[in-house]
Amino acid sequence: MQNNQPERNINLKLRYIAKAFVVLILIIASAVIVYCMGGTGSAFAHIMYLPIILSAYYFGIVGSVVTAILGGLALGPHMYENVSSELMQQSSIWIVRLIVFITFGIIISLLFMRIKGYEKEEAERSHVNLLTGLPNANKLKVDLDELIESKTEFSLIGFRIENINNIKQNISYETGVKSIKKALEILSELTDSTAYSIDDNTFAIVLPSGRIENAQTLGERFLYKTFEPVLIDQIKIGLLIKCGIVNFPLHAEDSYEMITKINMVLEQAKGEIGLYIYNGVLEKKSKSRSELVPHLLNAINNNEFYLVYQPKESIIDDGTISVEALLRWNNPTIGQISPSEFIVTAEEIGLIGEITKWVIKNVIEQKEKWKKTGLDVKIAFNISPKDLNNNSVMNYFIEVINNKELDLSLLEVELTERAVLENREIVIMLFNALRKIGIKIALDDFGTGYNSLINLVQFPADHIKIDKKFIDNITENTYKLVIKYTIGSAHRLGRKVVAEGVETKEQFDILKNIGCDYIQGYYISKPILPDELEDYLASKSPCQPV
C-alpha cells in the first residue's frame, strides 16, 4: 500500500500550513476584538483562549505553548488595559496572563492527547482480527478504498482452509488455529503484501498494480507450497486450501463489491480446493438461488418432487445389489433443477428436514409397491447432515419403520463422509443404532473428507462409496494405486466398496482388476424412473441385496 506516498506527504504539509494559518488569523482577530471592545480590562480578553484550544487540538503541546506565547504577547505590553482612557497594563498583569495562557495550553493539549489516544486505540481495535492479530475486513476496506481512489489496477487474493472445521473438531481447536498461522507463514514467504483476516478463516492480500496473471501465479505458488502436509505439534496435517481472485477494475467498482465478490468466489464449490477467478456466472447463480426459494417452499405441496433410481451392481456378475433413490424437482416456472443446487438452498432455509421426510415416505411407499409385485430390491436413500440434528426427521424415520412391516435389511442410508466428520458423535451413535436393526449404511463421496483412512476405521459403515472424482482419474497410475490401497484397507476392515460415477469400460475393467466390489454409474445405468427400473431389472438376473 505504498504508492502515492509523495502526493500524500504534500497534501499533509499543505493541510498543516492551512491549520497554522487559521490559528494565526484567530490570534490576530482576537487581539483586534479585545482592542475594539475596550482593552484587556474587559471580559473579551478571554477570547484568546480560542486559538490556544484550537492549536492544542491541531498541534499538541508545542503548538499550544507557541500559540499561548503569541496570544499572551498580542495582549501584552503594547495593549491598553482601557483603550478610551489610554490606560496601559502593569507588566505583572500581562506576564501573569501569559503564564496562565501557557499553563492552560499545556493542560488542554494533554487532555486532547488523552482523548485522541482512546480514539486511536478504539480505531486500532476495530481494525484488527483478535484471533490472528492481522488487520481485519474494516481495515481492508479502508485500504482498498485508497487504492480504488488512485485508480490503479490491483487484485485481491483471498484464501480459506476448507478443512479447518475438521481439523478443529478431529484434532483440536488449537491445532486449527496453528494451521491458520502456518498457512499465513507460508504465504508471507511468497509475498511482502500485508495479509488481512476477513474472518477467522478467510484471508486476503492485495497485490497493488498487479495484473491478474501475477495474482494467479502467486495463488498457484501458494497452493503448490501448501500441497505437502505441514507439521504442527508433531502431527502431519493436510491443509485443503481454496484461493480466489477478484480484480479491480475488471470485476468490481468499489471496496464493498470486492470483499463481497471474494467471499462469493470462496463460497463456490464448497469443500473443493484450487484457484478460482471471479466470473459473472457466480453472481447469476446466487441470484437464481434467491429465485429458487419461493418455488422451493411450495414444491412439496405442489407435488413437484419425484424420485429416480440408479442401480448399484456387483462387479463380478452384474447382479443388482441395491438401487439409490435420487431426488428430482420439476417446477412449472423454472423447469428442472438439479439436486446439487436445490439441496444446498433447502439446507440453508431449513427446509431440508421436510424434504428428507418426503423422500423417506416415498421410498417406503415404493418399497411396498415393489414388494407386492415380487420385486424385493434394496433401496438406498440420501440424508443431509442437517437431518442428523433434527429430531423431527429422526422421529419420523423411527415412526415409519416401526409402523410398517418392512424388511429393514432392504434399506440403506447414504451419508457423505464430510457430513459424518462434522457430526462425529451423533453419527457413530446413529450408525450403531441403524446397524442393530439391520439397516445398512454407506459412506458417500468417500475420499473427499479429511484423513479418509482414519474415518474408515472409526465409522461403522457397511459400504464406502469412492467419490466420482477418483474414478474419473483412475486411468492415472497414482489414482489407481490410491483406490487400490483404499479398497484393500476397506476389505481388511470388513467393509464393501462401491465405485461411484463409473462411465467407461476402461474404468470398469481397472476397478474389477483391483478388487472393487460394486459399481454405480452411467456405464451400467443412469438414474431412471420406477417403471423403467422395473423393465431394467426384469431383463437381468434376480437382485442380490448385500
434 contact, one of ligand C2E, Ca ion, none, CB 5-8 Å limit per kind: none
301 contact, one of ligand C2E, Ca ion, none, CB 5-8 Å limit per kind: none
462 contact, one of ligand C2E, Ca ion, none, CB 5-8 Å limit per kind: none
Alpha helices in 379-439 (DSSP H): 385-388, 391-403, 417-422, 424-436
**Which C-beta is closer to ligand C2E: that of 152 or that of 362?**
362
Cβ-closest residue to ligand C2E? 521
**Which C-beta is closer to ligand C2E: that of 81 or that of 444?**
444
For residue 118 the three cell numbers come to: 482512546
Among 219, 244, 449, 527, binds ligand C2E (CB under 6 A): 527
Neighbours of 32 (CB within 10 A): 11
**Which C-beta is closer to Ca ion: that of 211 or that of 469?**
469
Site string for ligand C2E, 293-312 (x = CB under 6 A): -----------------x--
11 contact, one of Ca ion, ligand C2E, none, CB 5-8 Å limit per kind: none
Number of chain positions touching ligand C2E (CB under 6 A): 21
Per CB under 5 A, residues contacting Ca ion are 382, 414, 444-445, 500
Among 215, 232, 327, 442, binds ligand C2E (CB under 6 A): 327
Pair 328, 306: CB distance under 8 Å: yes
Q: Which helix (H) or strand (E) holds 166?
A: helix 164-170
**Which C-beta is closer to ligand C2E: that of 196 or that of 446?**
446
- Residue 191 CA from chain centroid, whole number: 22
Q: 3-class secondary structure for 192-222? A: CCCEEEEECCEEEEEEECCCHHHHHHHHHHH
For residue 247 the three cell numbers come to: 480484480
**Which C-beta is closer to Ca ion: that of 237 or that of 363?**
363
Shortest Å, Cβ 316 to Ca ion: 22
Pair 502, 520: CB distance under 8 Å: yes
Residue 501 sits in the site that holds ligand C2E (CB under 6 A): yes
Shortest Å, Cβ 382 to ligand C2E: 4
Q: What's the CA gap between 168 and 146, in Å, rounded? A: 36
Among 11, 209, 286, 338, binds ligand C2E (CB under 6 A): 338
Shortest Å, Cβ 383 to Ca ion: 10
**Which C-beta is closer to ligand C2E: that of 159 or that of 342?**
342
Q: 137-149 and 255-267 are packed helices; what angle lies between their axes, rounded to 10 degrees? A: 120
Give residue for cell 476448507.
162
Alpha helices in 464-504 (DSSP H): 468-472, 477-492
Output 505-512 pairs: Cβ under 8 A, ≥24 positions apart. 506/475, 507/471, 507/474, 507/475, 508/315, 510/474, 510/475, 510/480, 511/315, 511/471, 511/474, 511/483, 512/315, 512/316
Q: What's the CA gap between 369 and 373, in Å, rounded? A: 7
Alpha carbons within 13 angstroms on the beta-carbon side of residue 507 total 24
For residue 340 the three cell numbers come to: 446439487
Residue 339 sits in the site that holds ligand C2E (CB under 6 A): yes
Q: List all residues 6 or more positions away from 32 whose beta carbon is below 8 Å from its beta carbon.
A: none
Shortest Å, Cβ 275 to ligand C2E: 23
Residue 528 sits in the site that holds ligand C2E (CB under 6 A): no
Residue 503 sits in the site that holds ligand C2E (CB under 6 A): yes
Among 521, 533, 537, 543, binds ligand C2E (CB under 6 A): 521
Shortest Å, Cβ 401 to ligand C2E: 17
Pair 499, 519: CB distance under 8 Å: yes
**Which C-beta is closer to Ca ion: that of 237 or that of 487?**
487
Q: Which helix (H) or strand (E) holds 161?
A: strand 154-161
Site string for ligand C2E, 418-447 (x = CB under 6 A): --------------------------xx--
Q: What's the CA gap between 58 and 112, in Å, rounded? A: 9
Shortest Å, Cβ 471 to ligand C2E: 8
**Which C-beta is closer to ligand C2E: that of 241 or that of 502?**
502
Q: What's the CA gap between 502 and 468, in Å, rounded? A: 7
326 contact, one of Ca ion, ligand C2E, none, CB 5-8 Å limit per kind: ligand C2E
339 contact, one of ligand C2E, Ca ion, none, CB 5-8 Å limit per kind: ligand C2E
Burial of 479 (0-12, 13-18, 19+ CB in 10 A): middle
Shortest Å, Cβ 459 to ligand C2E: 17
**Which C-beta is closer to ligand C2E: that of 65 or that of 383?**
383
Polymer length in residues for the chain: 546
Residue 528 pairs in a beta bridge with: 309
Shortest Å, Cβ 503 to ligand C2E: 4
Q: What's the CA gap between 498 and 501, in Å, rounded? A: 10
**Which C-beta is closer to Ca ion: that of 81 or that of 162?**
162
Site string for ligand C2E, 402-421 (x = CB under 6 A): ------------x-------
For residue 455 the three cell numbers come to: 474415518
DSSP tag of 94? H
Q: Which of residues 365-384 bind ligand C2E (CB under 6 A)?
A: 381-384
Site string for ligand C2E, 261-290 (x = CB under 6 A): ------------------------------
Enumerate binding residues for ligand C2E (CB under 6 A).
310, 326-327, 338-340, 343, 359, 381-384, 414, 444-445, 501-503, 521-522, 527
